[in-house]
Structure 1
């Protein structure tokens, strides 16, 4: 890994927020989808941070987009805390993920 990609750090932190936030609300609204998708996003970000051969930047972006649409898909759009957490975390991670994936696409691999 030749350069630290801050976008991977954002994906990791966003995944942790989605994973841990339902425990802070004290209700069950959106708990399962946010915890599962948050864990997947955090793992994708962690693999990218560690430089491991794992999911691409587009994979983390797909998990972020799934978090964004999860309030409608899983029916918790009426639960304010859960829905706003999903929308904010999903939107930020999706925007940063698309930005990072398009930048990574233009880079040429370093010669070894």
Structure 2
């Protein structure tokens, strides 16, 4: 597992993060939002996608998955914090994408740790 996972641009967890971030960032195009919801979704989505791209390019970096979990948690709580729970589509998108981002990040932690340890042995 570590040999395949150590190659750049091959880890499915990180590709999922890129897709989830892109969906969150672009979703204000097709759903109703207010200013706070729109910018929260764009910024958090872009940060999630960029973190995924960095993790894809540099699979030995261990911080990426931890950051992914934090960003996913922020996306999940953002409808309450930024008060857009009344915007059903935007709120549910944030909750679903945030929850999936946390799950994918948590699932990727063992893979990233393995890659990090293997990279340190070379």
Q: What TM-score results when the alignment is normalised by the length of structure 1? A: 0.87
Mapped pair 1:25 → 2:31: yes
Q: 1:2 aligns with which of 3, 6, 10?
A: 6
Deviation of residue 61 (structure 1)?
Answer: 1.6
Mapped pair 1:46 → 2:46: no
Map 1:71-90 onto structure 2 (within 5 A). 71-90=79-98
Match for residue 21 of structure 2? 15
Task: Work out the CA distance in 2 between the residues paired with 1:56 and 1:84.
Answer: 25
| 4+ aligned runs moved over 4 Å, structure 1 | 52-55
Structure 1, unmatched stretches of 5+, are none
Q: Could you say what secondary structure the match of 1:76 adopts?
A: coil
Task: For residues 36-88 of structure 1, give each alpha carbon's deviation from its aligned partner in whole angstroms, at most 9, with x where no partner exists.
Answer: 11010010001111127765211112111110110011000111000010011
Map 1:87-106 onto structure 2 (within 5 A). 87-106=95-114
State the superposition RMSD in angstroms. Answer: 2.1
Query: Could you say if the C-alpha distance between residues 5 and 53 of structure 1 is closer, same or farther in structure 2, counting changes exceeding 3 Å?
Result: closer
Match for residue 118 of structure 2? 109
Structure 2, unmatched stretches of 5+, are none
Which of the two has greater helix per residue? Answer: 2
Q: What TM-score results when the alignment is normalised by the length of structure 2? A: 0.81
